[in-house]
Chains A and B, each alone.
Chain A
Amino acid sequence: MNRISQKKGGTRMLLQANEAIARGALEAGVIFAAGYPGNPSSEIIETLAKASRDLPIYVEWSVNEKVALEAATGASFAGCRAICSMKQNGVNVVSDFLTNLSLSGTKGGLVLVSCDDPGGISSTNEEDARAFAPLSDIPLLEPSSPQEALDMARWAFDLSETINNIVMIRSVSRLSHSRSDVQVKDLPDFDVQPYFDTKVSFHTFPIVAKHQARHEKLRMAEELFENSPFNFYRGPSRPELLVIGSGCAVDYAIDAIEIMSLWERVGVLKLGTTWPLPRKLLLENLQKSESILFVEDVDPFIETNVKALAAEAARQVGVKTFHGRGSGDFPLCGELGPSHLLEFFGNYFDLDWKDQEFRNKMGSLTKGKIPPREFGFCPGCPHRGSFYAIKTALAWDDRDGFVSGDIGCYTMGIWPTGFNQVKSVHAMGSGSGIACGYGKLEGFGFDQPVITVCGDSTFFHATIPALVNARFNNADILLVVLDNSATAMTGFQPHPGTGKTAMGQPTQPVDIAALCESMGLEVHVGDPYEMKETARRLYDLMQKQGPRVMVLRRKCALVQGREGGFPYDMHVDQSLCVGEECGCGRYCTRIFRCPGLIWDKEKKKAMIDQVICVGCGICAEICPQGAIKKEAKG
């Protein structure tokens, strides 16, 4: 039995904050969960999906975030508690629905979790999704520890039902992917009877009156926030410096205060309810000090709003000196870390915090000698073969062709691991949308071939409308679907093409090739491991017009590794490898860049790293000497 589904509370367990959010939702009696995978949010739905084996709840990976929130809203309208999770980009996708939903209001407790990624550790952008709370007039909660993530998730459903509107919880990568010991409470009985009361309706009309009602709901939330245990002050009654902040940044501030023994001089007002701001609480605390430091990720959200509040109440709270991202004391971009806080306190109080001697010593010893670790596709990854075939076909064509990219592991096609073929990457599905534009420029003399790529999960998420657009407007686009039968980058979640749901139940898979054929597109299917054959067919397709699709199908190497492994033992025949004399310019290692095929610096020849090589065999195709040998595993 899964620990998360443990009925009885009272025990302390090590939980990741995402798992804690899932447990909190279960403790609140959630019976419906939906989301779309995206780092750092994926574990919330994954955890609930596992719990669905033991508990009477429904969990799905939806086709995209907007549909996920819409499905969860259906459950809410029928009186059930529902949760929906996504990464920051997902909130952009749901925003059209969200700004309408917050006008109509909700019934069963409905909670949207956004896990933002400060620093873009595993994202294509850095974005502070908190902006959507004021934009949609919905309450916002920001946990700063796994325990608080659990407690907030549980309470958020009560809040949602009190004000009859959706509530947003915002986590960040650093929290979502942290673990700590968490105290859990009992699980309820989940004995809800879904019913849609036809005496009421959920829509946005009359719009201005609903907008006004939405503001009234926020006012109710603010009143509750004034006494929330998620906001607290710790420190002296008259600190020299008052820290106001949210999330992990508050924990870094507390650590720095401990390290520098500053509890006599610095106070911390930790905010867990950040929209609407609890104004009374803030005004009361602002009077404690003339100097205020804001700590938060990413934008100066609390900072800007508290500054406005302090300006309004200047007669009451007095004149302040403000510090923070917005005031230029911290960078306006990137993640805050412990060193930002130590550095600020060090300068502010003129204290030494750095072991500068050690840092200088290590710095001088290692200076310039630590190479970065370049990102790359895994050994055996089908994308290496796909991009190799694309690169080859574009080179044969010789009209300065390029790739319009999309979101997934294959985004790394912008780097040497994908032979730098990808020239643009933006949102889910945008590669094909942008390609629709190139595809209508021929009449103006544009003759560069464009290949656009997307993964299987991305295809379902947002590529389909672009493809329909290409068919409708007869755009010259060549879409290569990199179908590896998984949402690989985020941890192999099932999607509409895999034939399995989040809860592990079999379902009719949606066939990408058949779907494209039904739109009247020219469709081909190939194997990324057959690089030359794939390149030849891509070259032929590039010479044609109208919307065309090539599906390159091969399982993600990590999935293949788990499901029986690879067929070959690889070695480089040292008598055939002529090393740097080859004339190919070390094509095998300099260009192909598979982590399993390395260069022996002493012998100046290629060799297989037997610890890393998985045995996919595709590199045997690239050596002009035929020195890279594959043998069937014994």
Chain B
Amino acid sequence: MELNVIITGVGGQGNVLASQVLGNAAVYKGFHVSIGETFGLSQRGGAVMSHVRLFKEPRYSPLIPPNRAHIVVGLEPLETLRIAQDHANPETLFIVNSRPIYPLNVIAGDVDYPDTAWIRQVLEQGGSRLYWLEGTQLAIELGGPIMLNMVMLGALCAIQSFPLETKDIKDILGEIFPQSKLEVNYRALDMGEELISNYEN
């Protein structure tokens, strides 16, 4: 058994933390886990992608081989589109936050940010299923854009083929966050889960 999940977005969106939370929960559920994090110069404001791999047997490659991602969690639309060609396949399920973060070269007018409706359409045509979510809006209501990563993990846990539930994530959050931050993160997970269970296409 092998389940490959990519979390992609922009530095500062909490991508690496999300993959760490997911990995910890998976280890407690008895999975062997391998996570590849890409950061560094792309730490803040650059493109960031984490590969999270769950296995029944020990395997170590920190990178998902080309076009073998089962699920892509996109924290930002353009970054989701960027990795689709090399990492997705016709069976890939996309869970994508619709709110763009504009690159500096877009802000400067050197290049255009593609129309988000078009991004949505391409992802819909590319994979097996697309959940296009107003995640940032929900995160702001919960207390700030930084809550987005937990909203999106909640959404991921609502996917039937994904073997972890929000409860599994909640069980390990105490190791990551201080007590004072737990309640709001629990709420973010629940609300993310609801985004999928109430999803209307």
Binding site for B on A (CB under 8 A): 3, 12-14, 16, 39-40, 117, 121-123, 144-147, 173-175, 177-181, 248, 251-252, 254-256, 259, 337-339, 342, 354-355, 358-359, 361-363, 365-366, 369-376, 378, 416-417, 489, 558, 586, 589-591, 593-595, 597-599, 609, 611-612
Contact = CB atoms under 8 A, between A and B. Distances in A.
A597 B34 CA distance: 38
Contact of B108 (A40, A121, A342, A593): A593
A595 B104 contact: yes
A595 B107 contact: yes
Interface stretch (B76-84, B177-185, B188-196): B76-84
24 contacts: A13-B27, A14-B27, A122-B43, A144-B60, A147-B58, A177-B36, A177-B37, A177-B39, A178-B62, A179-B19, A180-B23, A180-B34, A180-B62, A256-B65, A338-B61, A354-B66, A355-B67, A358-B89, A371-B112, A378-B12, A378-B44, A416-B104, A599-B107, A599-B109
B67 A354 contact: yes
B166 interface: no
Contacts of B78: 370-371, 373
Contacts of B45: 373, 375-376, 378, 595
B107 A593 contact: yes
A251 B61 contact: yes
Given A175-B62, A611-B99, 12 more contacts: A121-B38, A180-B23, A180-B34, A181-B27, A251-B62, A338-B64, A358-B89, A362-B122, A371-B106, A373-B47, A589-B107, A593-B108
A338 B101 CA distance: 29
B79 A178 contact: no
Contact of A248 (B61, B99, B113): B61
B125 interface: yes
A612 B101 contact: yes
Nearest to A178: B62
Contact of A371 (B32, B44, B58, B111): B111
B96 interface: no
B52 to A, nearest CB: 9
Contacts of A372: 103, 105, 111
Interface string B108-136: 11011110001000100110000000001
A503 to B, nearest CB: 21
A123 B28 CA distance: 35
A174 B62 contact: yes
B46 interface: yes
A373 B79 contact: yes
A252 B108 contact: no
A544 B189 CA distance: 60
B197 interface: no
Contacts of B85: 359, 362-363, 366
Contacts of B23: 14, 179-180
B33 A179 contact: yes
Contact of A595 (B89, B101, B140): B101
B152 to A, nearest CB: 15
A361 B126 CA distance: 8
A96 to B, nearest CB: 27
A178 B36 contact: yes
Given A13-B27, A371-B113, A358 B62 contact: no
B150 to A, nearest CB: 16
B142 interface: no
Contact of A589 (B36, B39, B108, B112): B108
A16 B16 CA distance: 12
Given A14-B33, A590-B108, A370 B44 contact: no
Contacts of B162: none
Contacts of B56: none
Interface residues of B, number: 67
A369 B86 CA distance: 15
A589 B109 CA distance: 8
Contacts of B38: 121, 177
A339 B107 CA distance: 34
Nearest to A599: B107
Contact of B109 (A339, A558, A590): A590
A206 B37 CA distance: 48
B45 to A, nearest CB: 6
Q: In the complex, which of the residues B19, B35, B36, B60 has the most CB atoms of chain A within 10 Å of its own CB atom? A: B60
Contacts of B112: 371
Contacts of A373: 10, 45-47, 78-79, 103, 105
Q: In the complex, which of the residues A179, A254, A372 has the most CB atoms of chain B within 10 Å of its own CB atom? A: A179
B107 A259 contact: no
Given A371-B112, A376-B45, A358 B90 contact: yes
Contacts of A589: 107-109
B63 A338 contact: yes
B104 A180 contact: no
Nearest to A590: B108
A39 B106 contact: no
Q: Which A-B residue pairs are the 9 nearest by beta carbons?
A: A122-B40, A178-B62, A371-B111, A251-B61, A145-B60, A362-B85, A179-B35, A338-B65, A374-B105
Q: In the complex, which of the residues B31, B99, B122, B175 has the most CB atoms of chain A within 10 Å of its own CB atom? A: B122
Contacts of A611: 99, 101, 136, 140, 145
Interface string B136-150: 100010000100000
A366 B40 CA distance: 27
Contacts of A337: 63
A178 B109 contact: no
A542 B90 CA distance: 61
A12 B28 CA distance: 9
Nearest to A17: B62
B66 to A, nearest CB: 5
B115 to A, nearest CB: 9
Given A373-B10, A373-B46, A251 B65 contact: no
Given A358-B88, A362-B84, A122 B35 contact: no
A354 B107 CA distance: 36
Given A180-B32, A370-B114, A417-B104, A255 B65 contact: yes
A374 B107 CA distance: 10
A358 B31 CA distance: 30
A366 B60 contact: no
Nearest to A183: B58
Nearest to B23: A14
Given A145-B60, A358-B67, A586-B109, A370 B82 contact: yes
A369 B46 contact: no
Contacts of B90: 355, 358
A180 B65 contact: no
B1 to A, nearest CB: 13
Given A14-B20, A416-B108, A589-B109, A374 B103 contact: yes
